[in-house]
Amino acid sequence: CHELRINDENLTWRIIYRIYTDMILILEVFEKKTSKTPKSIIDVSKQRIKIYEKDIKGWKK
């Protein structure tokens, strides 16, 4: 996964995404308040990747 940083006037945003051959999957967008990405954000992102990859396998059958 990758993390894109966006600095707004008063906020700092992060976009967690994963690059595939034919697309970019946006996993999470959140306001960054600390230097470390919260574990809950990491866990949700991992779960979303699993769901996506499971669904893709079902579509290709």
Distance between CA atoms of residues 31 and 33, nearest Å? 6
Q: What is the pLDDT of residues 11-21, one digit of tens each?
A: 999 999 999 98
Q: What is the pLDDT of residues 24-54, one digit of tens each?
A: 999 999 998 888 999 999 999 999 999 998 8
- pLDDT at residue 22, as a whole number: 87
Q: CB atoms < 10 A from the CB of 15, how many? A: 15
- Collapsing DSSP to helix, strand or coil, 9 comes out as coil
Number of domains composing the chain? 1
22 vs 6, higher pLDDT: 6
With CA atoms as reference, report the closest residue to 5 among 29, 24, 26, 41. Answer: 29
Q: How many Å separate Cα 19 from the centre of its chain?
A: 10
* Mean pLDDT of all residues in 56-61: 69
CA atoms within 13 A on the CB side of 23: 6
pTM, two decimals, is 0.80
